[in-house]
Structure 1
Amino acid sequence: MSTTSTTSRAARVARGLGIAVSSVVIAAFSHVAAGGAAPGVLGAVLALVFAALVSIALAGRRLSAPRAVVAVTLSQVVFHVLFSLGAAIPTAHGHDVSMLGMVMSGGTTSTLPALSSPGATSALAAEGARMWAGHTVAAALTVVLLFQGERGFFAVLRVATERLAVLVRAAEAVRPRPAAVPRRAAVAAAESRILRPLEVFLSARPHRGPPRVL
């Protein structure tokens, strides 16, 4: 496998994960803002896994608008369902919360609102419209954030890489060099000249004999 192929696959995975994380965060915020229950841990994890699989599969070498829209839209639809898994039951009468209460109560309909009254039906319809409107806005924001954020991310990454290279070169320039270790022969010769000065003196007058007796 070539280096170019490995880099392309890594970039594809990075873009897909970026789409997935952005979709989950924005979808969770819009879901709660529209009156839904706060996502549980199980639902959030499953939503993130699903979003990652879909986004990585649809992410091309270059992030295209159609692929991003498809990935984000599919993720928003699934998020709406998965966010109810493991969510806490609030006091509100949201349709997701009522369904969760029915499941946790063993299938009884004691927690369901009275659907026979026109007021309850219109309330559920209005709440459903708000919910899907929130997810639609979240999908649009996610797509915009992805394109703007990707350009900014790669620009910051490029600048950071250049600055890091400059710092590394500067550190290499100012790093102290190890002192040169003298050779053993030179050290031995220097010690010999210091410890035996008499030998040097005698070698300067080699033909001098004993003093003459007067």
Structure 2
Amino acid sequence: MSSRWGRFVRGWITASFAVFVAAFSHVVAGGAAPAPVSISLALAFSGMVCVALAGKTLSLLRSSASVAVSQIALHALFGLGSGATSPILTGSGHHGPVSISPGTAAAVDSMGMSVAGTSGTDAWMWAAHGVAAVLTIVALHRGERAFWFLVDLAASGLAVVLRGTRDLVPVFVHAVPAPLVAADAFVPSPLAVLRSCLTRRGPPVIRIVF
């Protein structure tokens, strides 16, 4: 995979796997499910970064850098389009009384608790992204080595088979017809002899004398 297309394929495989694992870990850690636009942007950004960092040969350092940058960007992009809304306060007049609905009041009352729990959620979120990054690096590094090992093994077996068929020498066998021998005299077959005997056999002829 040392060609340009090889690096392109390696980069996009890394990006796709990183986005999938990051989205899964993001949801498991308590985050909202990423919107399609977030996944598309994350995949596009990760693809460009991973292709740019992909070298001619497999490198653990470059793979780690690609996955780390992708995880940081994915955490930020997955927050887009999550559907979160903020409470709206409405009022009448310039200095009129402010009317707050019961649902909005409950949301305002719970803002303190949500802000207090943000640090804990972020800690779990970053821990999940860290685990996802480690899993991605190990899977890609080991997976590519195993893939190329199988390719080399299949190529070696195919080369042995082709070499064996190339060394075979075809042998042509010419059939020699048997010569025809002409008989000097007619030799009756045993069946003809038996028939000659059987035609003369039978009951004795009865003569009637008057």
**2:77 paired residue number:** 82
**2:122 paired residue number:** 128
Letter in 2 for 1:32: V
Rounded to whole Å, the distance in 2 between the matches of 1:48 and 1:164 is 37
Rounded to whole Å, the distance in 2 between the matches of 1:167 and 1:30 is 47
1:21 aligns with 2:16: yes
Shift of the alpha carbon at 1:155?
2.1
Rounded to whole Å, the distance in 2 between the matches of 1:164 and 1:113 is 70
Shift of the alpha carbon at 1:165?
7.4
Count of matched residue pairs: 151
**1:44 paired residue number:** 39
Pick from 27, 30, 50 the counterpart of residue 25 of structure 2. 30
Rounded to whole Å, the distance in 2 between the matches of 1:161 and 1:40 is 43
**1:149 paired residue number:** 143
Call closer, same or farther: CA 1:156–1:134 in 2, change over 3 Å.
same
Shift of the alpha carbon at 1:19?
1.2
TM-score, normalization: structure 2? 0.60
1:8 aligns with 2:3: yes
Shift of the alpha carbon at 1:52?
0.6
SS of the residue 2:131 aligns to? helix
Call closer, same or farther: CA 1:108–1:8 in 2, change over 3 Å.
farther
**Long gaps (5+) in structure 2:** 90-103, 164-210
Rounded to whole Å, the distance in 1 between the matches of 2:57 and 2:36 is 32
Shift of the alpha carbon at 1:156?
2.8
Shift of the alpha carbon at 1:131?
0.6
Residue pair 1:8, 1:61 contacting (<8 A) in 2 also: yes
Call closer, same or farther: CA 1:41–1:163 in 2, change over 3 Å.
farther
Letter in 2 for 1:132: W
**Long gaps (5+) in structure 1:** 1-5, 90-97, 170-214
Structure whose alpha-carbon radius of gyration is higher:
2
